[in-house]
Chains A and B, each alone.
Chain A
């Protein structure tokens, strides 16, 4: 009964999404306030029914209702309860349901926080989001119904993929989806602005908190995915340039570019067309990511479905959304006049270069991800593009970007002088060069150039970010009142930017240390045997069998000592899950802020010996600390007072609000 209620709720949600799209669009077109007013209640109703549908599926999982096909395929009565709940999004159908739920949740958030928007604009935004909802709910109902029954019902389910039975999975997909789908909000804002013909500073200011919020989730989602791969795959790697990872990374890069170009559009009314295009691209790449992952074009842990009908549906939907919005852009954008001219040395220029670097990086990742698929589809041979390609392209693009982090915030809008910038940054530059040169001399490493560049850039980014904040503080308090006053006066967005940039610095240092000083060793270990790695002594104490709730495991014991003092005992496991009988590696990890000791069991060899992987990974936690700082920075920026202040402002006609430093030219229609 409950699954039928879920299916019914999906149907109702579809109907409400149709109303949410068609009526407000028509209302906005013919300036009918009653029709436009339909947008908000319809969107809220759709959200309610999506929650009901999702709750029904969750209930089916909790109550082990294996008469539901999707539950039978992805769960098992022996599966622990938290994983049964996470299994809701452990397969194709459920993760789509989560996608659609998250979309309606973002729409709901828009209905709550859009009181200050002009009603016509708001109606269009909600309608565009409704259109995307229609696509996804239709997709579910026609090709991937999560509530489909299975008759006769099996006695037990086929269990969740063991790889996905990890705390990382419980949080990773919802976070990632919040980010992916969150990009639909700036997309809807952009489309609504194009439809209405008002692309101005106000539009940019309304978009900014939404982009940043989605970006925060995307950042955390990607970070969680990387953390999960590090823990669960047992290779000690944290990023594989796997197509699925790339699919989430491309919207992140474009989203990052969008955050920066929105700043220019809001403050200086420049880059308008470019910003709109970025908003469209960011969401298109999110959709493309969904297509790549869900259509079965890419085969990986994440690809559940290989049903061609599904791929075709998403491809058509993708073409419709991307093609339609690009057409609209091509039609409307030439009429938009960009204001705010600027000099070659100015903050605008640094942000422009930032955008070019980020978009180029995204484009080259797109090339490496899609080209093999195209070749294969055209029957021109099977190729794969290795991780070295991505590293070779990505790193050189990010080096100047990291350098610009130091320069951009200090440069003035419109016109800046190189001499002045050099003067202000001279000590940072000296410190960065000193750090980059001395460190490779003290610590022996493999790749000296890499270390020098990495550490130099990390130092540069970190110090210049803090210095920029200090400069801000000084400007707030020219007559030296107490520093506490200045600390309060500086807008939270500035703290946010500083923190996020600091996060980049932390990440760069982490990548540099991990890749330059990390050591790994694969070897055969007999019980009692020991090995040296990174100054630590690893002794294999033997392995014993262990019964888990839904698996049996062999658990190894490896004692780690340093200078005859015990550091820790690691317990790597080799698990075999009972239902799917896949062997799984659970790494034994000891983490501190400055190094991880990581041990994974390979395969059993004769005489009680095991093939063992040992890793010493310095600063690896910084790889996740960096993104956490970036996300925190994003949270601070979203909570900035000015966004709340505008939310309280009375609604004004579109295009009349301007808080830029100079009057913003209105767009022509």
Chain B
């Protein structure tokens, strides 16, 4: 039994609904940075924002791959009840806390069922609008700028490269300790 088991959302229903709404907005408006996970205290190395995303999206039907050590792993298992995938290729959600697996190795869905693809949950040090990557595409009026401090080197190039296999592809949720920004596969990203 994990000795230091910590609570999840104070109110599981309202907490998950509020976080879901924020994620929905973030996914519909790529590049927008929305605060998430306030009041949540998951065990380190999970951050409040990561914890909120996991509690909201993961359940018994979504295999999760993560390299999180105990007690974070135990916390996820207890509160989300999700199965842990053995390798990132088989997971519906991928949460790398150490080195991120290559984007093109994740499940990209099929041309008939592109929605069955994986979602990458990528922890970053900080997120800010108005500088950094240039984003265009659905949900963005003209152009959005997003800077993600601490994103793995080569991530932007790998994300831009997956446009070639649209509608297959991986959606990305970038999570700073207290906020999220989303990069759905329909977004065009260029470094600039």
Q: Do A and B bind each other?
A: no
Binding site for B on A (CB under 8 A): none
